[in-house]
């Protein structure tokens, strides 16, 4: 039997579902779940990665499965776009699943077998979201993904704060789903055919195309976490177990990016220039908001959640630039911007997943999420410290890692935009490029704080001396994610060759030929404009270190003198005298004070232990969500007046409704 790629992908999905069902029969058998089921899920993730890798350059494959309603079967389609995102899902889930095999323990709030069911159902639903080729299958899988991730977020459901975080996430996810459903209603153009194949051939007017665009932006933006729909991220990520946070931030947010690309460039045939400008504004606002809030956080998982908001903003900005170039017929520049977006999708998936699993290892070893109670862990957890450093450098956008390549390509797409046929846009785009540079600098600042406060300096608590390094399975998962960060940084030319079929389908152009002609140098447009050689950079760094080592050996003859670090002449330095997370973020609080809603708690002369405390809150929560919640409560109380508890009143309601319907039908 000759199996096509789509058959193998569906086989992996079925295997994940079977692993989840097996977890139900091993509900509380932690050893079986951790040592067999999660590694098996990771192995099938590797298989999915291999199948998607081999199919990204193949022709589209379709299948119709009679597993929906009688007249609504599920349509699936594997093309270059879905294959690319399946590569991301499979490769990242392999590392996270291996880490989860050593992470989950008894007492997480949910039995291990049930966690395995929810976890693998989550993986299967994400894979089927990017395969769905009709609105019905897409929405079923989208809601399955939301529900399974909700149960994973609320794994430790006995804690009230976790319950609230889970319900907030589920509420915004469902509001976004309604918007996506309305978008599909517009795209089907009153034909009654909700398959994507039918939507592709519809010719919408600019008005209705804009309506579909705005509905898709709101719906997928709610899942991605754009401002002001971002409030669930900093609540759900700290609540979820760390492997779940890794999958949600590294992979699930990218399904929203997939949905945006599928609707904007595949199902819609009309492109209006102001769409790109709106996406640029929303994306850069989201990125700046996220990185500023990340810089002042004292909870390490909330810091990473806001960092994810920043990266989602960069992705939306790149998509906006792609739309803008496409609207003006500048297809090569659109391909450059879209290549930067897809490269950052993969890069962020690896380094953010690695950051979250690294925080999970720290959390299990210390029991602390508060940065103010950590420090000096590089001595007791060297493995976790060094692999987390790789993720930190990638997140900060430093070479030779994948984060640098994607952000460099995005910046190049902004710098090469001088050919736009509008003087206003030509003036505005350089301002956007400057904002990208500012955001990248603040991201580096935030990552220095994150790594330095957790791993460097002296331990701030006595119990940190008893912290244990990551176990075997955790190390395997983290090593795989480190390999992904390094591969994306060292082999950009080869990876862009995988992206090239996607950009050619979506915008009609690609960078494949330009990049391949430049050998090992990465040349996005022309060699005289810009180029980057990761191998050359790495060799230069290695040569610099070797030269420094030789000079030290020759000049100092191997002499070594150990001394305490410089302490301004004060000999009795302790952990309380080193910089804190609050102190590190204070300059950002001062410079960007209008971004924050700050409440200061000042000491009084009568305090036994005087304290000065500053809490930072989100303006959007108090300006938008609190008034909206109060309005909903008032409306619910008014509607509650209809519930009288008397059968005669309910019969009267039915009679009045019947009369109203008859009047409307008669007219």
Residue 636 lies in a domain: yes
Alpha helix positions (H), 26-79: 30-32, 38-55
Last residue of a domain, one of 152, 179, 196: 196
For residues 435 and 432, give the distance between their C-alpha atoms in angstroms, rounded to a whole number. 5
The H or E element spanning position 575 is none
In-domain check, residue 26: yes
pLDDT in tens, 282-315: 999 999 999 999 988 888 999 999 999 999 999 9
Contacts 24+ apart (CB under 8 A), 523-527: 524/336, 524/339, 524/409, 524/412, 524/413, 524/416, 525/332, 525/336, 525/412, 525/416
- Residue ending a domain, among 156, 171, 196, is 196
Task: For residues 619 and 27, give the distance between their C-alpha atoms in angstroms, rounded to a whole number.
Answer: 43
Q: pLDDT digits over 418-455, tens only?
A: 677 777 787 888 888 889 989 999 999 999 999 988 98
Average pLDDT rounded to a whole number, residues 144-170 = 89
What is the total residue count of the chain? Answer: 667
* Residue 533 maps to a domain: no
Mean confidence (pLDDT) of the chain: 86
Q: 342 Cβ partners below 8 Å, 6+ apart?
A: 84, 499, 502, 503
Q: How many domains does the chain have?
A: 2
Q: Using an 8 Å Cβ cutoff, are 369 and 356 in contact?
A: no
Determine the 3-state secondary structure of 634 from DSSP: helix
Task: Retrieve residue 375's tokens.
Answer: 């420090």
Band (pLDDT 50/70/90 cuts) for residue 161 is confident
Kindly state the tokens that stand for 99. Answer: 């880490």
Residue among 16, 15, 13, 37 nearest 113 (CA): 37
Contact predicate 68/137, CB 8 Å: yes
Kindly give, in sequence order, each residue whose CB lies less than 8 Å from that of residue 111, ignoring residues fewer than 6 positions away. 27, 28
Residue 322 in any domain: the answer is no
CA distance 629 to 167: 13
Average pLDDT of 606-620?
71
What confidence tier does 1 reach under pLDDT thresholds 50, 70, 90?
very low
pLDDT recorded at residue 651: 83
What long-range pairs does 166-171 form, CB within 8 A, spacing at least 24? 166/236, 166/239, 168/231, 168/232, 168/235, 168/236, 169/232, 169/235, 169/236, 170/146
With a CB cutoff of 8 Å and minimum separation 6, the contacts of 103 are 241, 242, 243, 357, 360, 361, 364, 473, 474
Q: Please state, in angstroms and rounded to a whole number, the distance separating the CA atoms of residues 590 and 598.
A: 11
**Res. 498: pLDDT tops 60:** yes
Cis peptide preceding 484, ω within 30 of 0:
no
Region 509-515 average pLDDT: 80
Q: Cβ contacts of residue 626 below 8 Å, gap of 6+?
A: none
User: Which candidate, 256, 72, 27, 42, places its Cα nearest to that of 146?
Assistant: 256
Is 42 domain-assigned? yes
**Backbone region of residue 329 per phi and psi (left: phi > 0; alpha: psi in -120 to 50; beta: other values):** left
Cis amide linkage into residue 228, ω under 30° from 0:
yes
Six-digit token string for 174 = 């469902």
- 348 vs 313: CA distance, rounded Å: 12
Residue 127 lies in a domain: yes
Q: Give the per-residue pLDDT at 310.
A: 93
Q: What value does the mean pLDDT take over residues 370-386?
A: 88
| End residue of a domain, out of 151, 175, 196 | 196
Q: What is the mean pLDDT of residues 625-650?
A: 83
Place of tokens 């609080």: 589
Q: How far is CA 186 from CA 73, 182, 276, in A?
A: 21, 6, 20
628 token code pair: 């909206």
User: pLDDT at residue 2 above 60?
Assistant: no
Where in the sequence is the domain holding 81, given as residue range(s)?
1-196
Residue pointed to by tokens 């950590």 = 374
For residue 147, pLDDT beyond 90 = yes
Q: Is the dihedral of CA 356, 362, 364, 369 positive or negative?
A: negative
In a domain, 154, yes or no: yes
More confident of the two residues 555 and 545: 545
Residue 77 lies in a domain: yes
Tokens representing 488?
């994306």
């Amino acid at each position: 039997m000759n199996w096509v790629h789509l058959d193998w992908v569906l086989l992996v999905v079925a295997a994940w579902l079977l692993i989840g069902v097996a977890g139900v029969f091993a509900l509380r058998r932690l050893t079986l779940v951790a040592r067999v089921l999660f590694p098996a899920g990771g192995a099938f993730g590797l298989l999915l990665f291999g199948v998607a890798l081999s199919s990204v350059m193949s022709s589209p494959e379709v299948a119709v499965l009679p597993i929906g309603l009688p007249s609504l079967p599920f349509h699936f389609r594997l093309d270059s776009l879905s294959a690319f995102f399946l590569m991301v899902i499979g490769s990242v889930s392999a590392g996270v699943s291996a880490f989860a095999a050593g992470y989950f323990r008894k007492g997480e709030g949910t039995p291990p077998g049930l966690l395995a069911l929810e976890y693998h159902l989550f993986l299967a639903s994400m894979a089927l979201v990017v395969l769905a080729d009709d609105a019905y299958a897409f929405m079923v899988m989208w809601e399955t993904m939301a529900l399974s991730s909700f149960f994973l977020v609320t794994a430790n459901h006995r804690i009230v704060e976790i319950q609230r975080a889970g319900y907030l996430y589920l509420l915004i996810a469902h509001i976004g789903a309604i918007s996506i459903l309305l978008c599909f209603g517009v795209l089907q153009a009153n034909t009654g055919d909700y398959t994507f194949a039918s939507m592709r051939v519809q010719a919408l007017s600019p008005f209705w195309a804009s309506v579909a665009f705005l509905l898709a932006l709101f719906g997928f933006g709610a899942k991605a976490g754009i401002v002001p729909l971002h409030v669930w991220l900093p609540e759900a990520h700290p609540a979820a177990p760390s492997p779940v946070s890794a999958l949600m931030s590294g992979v699930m947010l990218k399904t929203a990016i997939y949905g945006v690309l599928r609707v904007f460039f595949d199902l819609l045939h009309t492109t209006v220039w102001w769409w790109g400008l709106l996406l640029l504004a929303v994306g850069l606002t989201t990125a700046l908001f996220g990185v500023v809030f990340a810089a002042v956080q004292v909870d390490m998982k909330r810091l990473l959640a806001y960092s994810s908001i920043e990266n989602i903003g960069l992705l939306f900005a790149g998509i906006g630039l792609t739309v803008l170039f496409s609207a003006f017929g500048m297809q090569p520049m659109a391909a450059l911007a879209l290549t930067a977006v897809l490269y950052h999708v993969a890069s962020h998936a690896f380094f953010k997943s690695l950051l979250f699993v690294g925080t999970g290892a720290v959390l299990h070893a210390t029991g602390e999420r508060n940065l103010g109670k950590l420090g000096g862990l590089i001595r007791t957890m060297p493995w976790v410290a060094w692999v987390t450093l790789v993720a930190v450098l990638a997140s900060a956008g430093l070479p030779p890692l994948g984060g640098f390549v994607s952000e460099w390509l995005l910046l190049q797409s902004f710098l090469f935009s001088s050919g736009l046929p509008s003087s206003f846009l030509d003036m505005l785009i350089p301002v956007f490029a400057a904002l990208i540079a500012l955001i990248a600098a603040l991201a580096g600042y935030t990552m220095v704080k994150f790594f330095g406060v957790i791993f460097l300096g002296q331990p701030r608590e006595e119990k940190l001396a008893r912290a244990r390094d990551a176990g075997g399975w955790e190390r395997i998962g983290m090593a795989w994610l480190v390999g992904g960060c390094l591969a994306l940084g060292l082999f950009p030319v080869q990876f862009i060759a995988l992206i090239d079929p996607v950009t050619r389908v979506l915008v009609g152009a690609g960078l494949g030929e330009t990049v391949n002609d430049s050998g090992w140098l990465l040349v996005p447009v022309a060699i005289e404009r810009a180029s980057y050689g990761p191998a050359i950079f790495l060799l230069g760094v290695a040569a610099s270190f070797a030269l420094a080592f030789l000079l030290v050996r020759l000049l100092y003859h191997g002499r070594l003198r150990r001394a305490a670090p410089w302490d301004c002449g004060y000999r009795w330095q302790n952990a309380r005298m080193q910089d804190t997370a609050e102190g590190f973020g204070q300059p950002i609080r001062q410079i960007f004070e209008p971004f924050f809603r700050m409440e200061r708690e000042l000491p009084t002369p009568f305090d036994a232990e005087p304290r000065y405390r500053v809490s930072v809150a989100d303006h959007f929560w108090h300006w938008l969500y609190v008034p909206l919640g109060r309005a909903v409560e008032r409306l619910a109380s008014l509607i509650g007046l209809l519930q009288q508890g008397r059968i005669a009143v309910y019969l009267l309601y039915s009679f009045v409704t019947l009369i109203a319907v008859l009047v409307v039908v008669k007219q």
